[in-house]
C-alpha cells in the first residue's frame, strides 16, 4: 500500500493495540533472537490473559519468563518447555 508507513519509534507505539486476551507470537529460538524490548513493554503495560506462541517460555526472570511472574500468560503454545521452574510450577 503506497504511503503506508509501518515503522514505529517506540516499544509503546508497537504494542499500542495489544489488549487483554490477545494472542502473541514471539520469534527467536531459545533465548536467541527474542524480542526483549517488546516483552518488557508487555510486562510494563500489564496486559493479561495472553495466549503466547513461541519456541519456549524463556527462563526464570528472562525472556517470556518475565511475563509468567505476574501471570500475564494464560496459555502457552511451545515446542520446548524445559529450563523454566516457574513455567513448570504454573503448568
How many C-alpha atoms does 6 have within 13 Å on its Cβ side? Answer: 2
Is 55 contained in some domain?
A: yes
Is 4 contained in some domain?
A: no
Confidence class of residue 3 from pLDDT cuts 50, 70 and 90?
confident
Is 5 contained in some domain?
A: no
Query: What pLDDT digit, counting tens, does each position of 42-87 carry?
Result: 999 999 999 999 999 999 999 999 999 999 999 999 988 778 999 9
pLDDT score, position 1: 57
Q: What is the pTM of this model?
A: 0.89
Instruction: Provide the domain limits for residue 45.
Output: 20-90
CA distance 63 to 56: 9
pLDDT score, position 53: 97
Amino acid at each position: 500500500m503506497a504511503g503506508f508507513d509501518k515503522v514505529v519509534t517506540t516499544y509503546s507505539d508497537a504494542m499500542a493495540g495489544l489488549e487483554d486476551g490477545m494472542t502473541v507470537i514471539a520469534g527467536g529460538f531459545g533465548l536467541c533472537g527474542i524480542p526483549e524490548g517488546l516483552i518488557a513493554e508487555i510486562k510494563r503495560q500489564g496486559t493479561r490473559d495472553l495466549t503466547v506462541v513461541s519456541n519456549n517460555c524463556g527462563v526464570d526472570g528472562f525472556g517470556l519468563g518475565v511475563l509468567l511472574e505476574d501471570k500475564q500468560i494464560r496459555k502457552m503454545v511451545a515446542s520446548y518447555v524445559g529450563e523454566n521452574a516457574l513455567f513448570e510450577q504454573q503448568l
